[in-house]
């Protein structure tokens, strides 16, 4: 499956889960900001992706819940600390953090959850599954 195939399937899944129009879903769209996803929508998306791609998405893997809930080592004055950034990289290895690292605000975290993030995650998931099968 090519990256574009994955994107097409992810987009169709989001159209169904979030009740948005097809042309609203671009690789750069943020799930919350652009597509209006709420907390239960993230569960719905995971459920639909599992079904669509025939994979198992462990809890806290694709969409880690409350990464920095109440931990002062990770967040200081509304900004993610270097230690927090390391944690973020560890928890979301498939996320592109380049832009975020330039201005790591707590509010900015939700913008990391993009359509591209899902596509990258699925891509790595399918690749590791293929490797395991080989």
Partner 1 sequence: MQLKDQIALVTGGSRGIGRGIVRALAAEGAKVAFVYRGSREAADALVAEIGNNCQAIQADVAQADSAQRVVDKVIADWGRIDILVNNAGVIRDGLFVRMEPGDWQTVIDTNLGGTFAFCRAAAAQMALKQRSGRIINISSVAAEHVNAGQCNYAASKGAVNAFTRALAVELGSRNVTVNAVAPGFVETDMTEAVRNKTGDFIQKKLIPVRRLGKPEDIAAAVVFLASPGASYITGQVITVDGGLSLGAVSA
Question: How far apart are CB 97 and partner 1 at their closest, in Å?
Answer: 30
Token pair recorded at residue 101? 């690292």
Question: How far apart are CB 122 and partner 1 at their closest, in Å?
Answer: 18
Part in contact with partner 1 (CB under 8 A); list of ranges 5-13, 44-52, 61-69, 97-105: 44-52
Question: How far apart are CB 23 and partner 1 at their closest, in Å?
Answer: 23
Q: Does 60 bind partner 1 (CB under 8 A)?
A: no
Q: Does 44 bind partner 1 (CB under 8 A)?
A: yes
Q: How many residues does the chain have?
A: 134
Token pair recorded at residue 73? 């080592």
Question: How far apart are CB 32 and partner 1 at their closest, in Å?
Answer: 14
Residues whose CB is less than 8 angstroms from the CB of residue 67 and which lie 6 or more positions away in sequence, other chains included: 74, 87, 88, 91, 109
Torsion region of 127: left, alpha or beta (phi above 0 gives left; psi -120 to 50 gives alpha): alpha
Q: What is the DSSP letter of 109?
A: G
Member of 1, 5, 43, 127 binding partner 1 (CB under 8 A): 43
CB-count exposure of residue 27 (10 Å: 0-12, 13-18, 19+): middle
Member of 22, 40, 56, 131 binding partner 1 (CB under 8 A): 40
Member of 3, 4, 5, 47 binding partner 1 (CB under 8 A): 47
List residues binding partner 1 (CB under 8 A): 38, 40-41, 43-44, 47-48
């Amino acid at each position: 499956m090519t990256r574009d195939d994955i994107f097409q399937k992810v987009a169709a899944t989001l159209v169904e889960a979030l009740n948005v129009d097809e042309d609203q879903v671009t690789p750069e769209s943020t799930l919350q900001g652009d597509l209006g996803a709420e907390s239960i929508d993230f569960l719905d998306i995971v459920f639909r992706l599992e079904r669509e791609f025939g994979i198992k998405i462990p809890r806290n893997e694709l969409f880690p819940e409350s990464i920095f809930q109440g931990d002062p080592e990770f967040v200081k004055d509304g900004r993610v600390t270097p230690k927090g950034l390391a944690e973020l990289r560890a928890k979301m290895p498939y996320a592109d953090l380049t832009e975020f690292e330039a201005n790591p605000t707590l509010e900015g975290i939700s913008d990391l959850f993009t359509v591209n993030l899902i596509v990258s995650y699925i891509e790595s998931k399918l690749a590791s599954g293929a490797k395991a099968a080989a």
